[in-house]
Amino acid sequence: MVEYNQYLFIDFEFSMPENKTTPQGFFPEIIEVGLVSVSNQSINHTFSSYVKPSYYPMLTSRCKSFLGITQSQVDQGMSFVDLVEYLNEADTTKESTIVTWGNMDMKVLRANCLKHNIPFPFKGSKVDLSMEYKRFFGDQNQTGLWKAVQEYGKEGTGKHHCALDDALTTYNIFKLVEKDKRYLAKPEPTTIGDRIDLSKVLNKFAL
């Protein structure tokens, strides 16, 4: 992890149609945000909020059931305009590396910004950690967030599909992958002490 850079680990949850077939005109809106700000390999702060959808304010039963949220929670959330303003302020360096699991978060954020006619908040590089994970392990298919952390023998933080918990889990996987990358890039040289038990040899000659 580059010491001077700021990393923003972000997860959004979206509204969804009642059925898997998307009705004409419908598009997913951000209804929850979780953000973890990291620099110098330490968490600076975390942020979590519901976001009130502007175009389709009433959540479908499928959406509420899948995400485990209520209509009143999003009704009391921040506006999308306030969300983008917060994201602008959170990107203190204006060159932060934005890390998400999958590419949908940034796609939906960009589409929502276009709908609201406001600028996209991030200028720095974007990292889809799910693709990094796929390439690193040579997987044929992309792995789900919580399945990926379980493959490391760990558990996800909190509750899956809670935006902040998923952002924290993304950060935890990032640390694990980066650790493996460093290990493979700079393998420690094997010493003779790693190959044989020197204490047994010394004991033999002491006899």
Contacts of 183 (CB under 8 A, 6+ apart): none
CB atoms within 10 A of CB 25: 7
- Of the candidates 46, 119, 48, the one whose C-alpha atom is nearest the C-alpha of residue 88 is 119
Helix (H, G, I), strand (E, B) or coil at 178: helix
- Tokens for 35? 């953000």
In the chain the first and final C-alpha atoms are separated, in Å, by 51
Q: What distance in Å separates the CA atoms of residue 85 and residue 38, rounded to the nearest whole number?
A: 19
Query: Among 89, 161, 178, 188, which one carries the catalytic annotation?
Result: 161
Extract the tokens encoding 85: 């303003």
Tally the C-alpha atoms within 13 A of residue 109's C-alpha that lie toward its C-beta.
23
161 is known as an active-site residue: yes
Told to judge if 85 belongs to the known catalytic residues of this protein, a careful annotator would answer: no
- Of 13, 32, 89, 95, which is the active-site residue? 13
What b/e string do you get for 52-66 counting C-beta neighbours within 10 Å, with b at 16 or more? bbeebeebeeebbee
Residues with active-site annotation? 13, 161
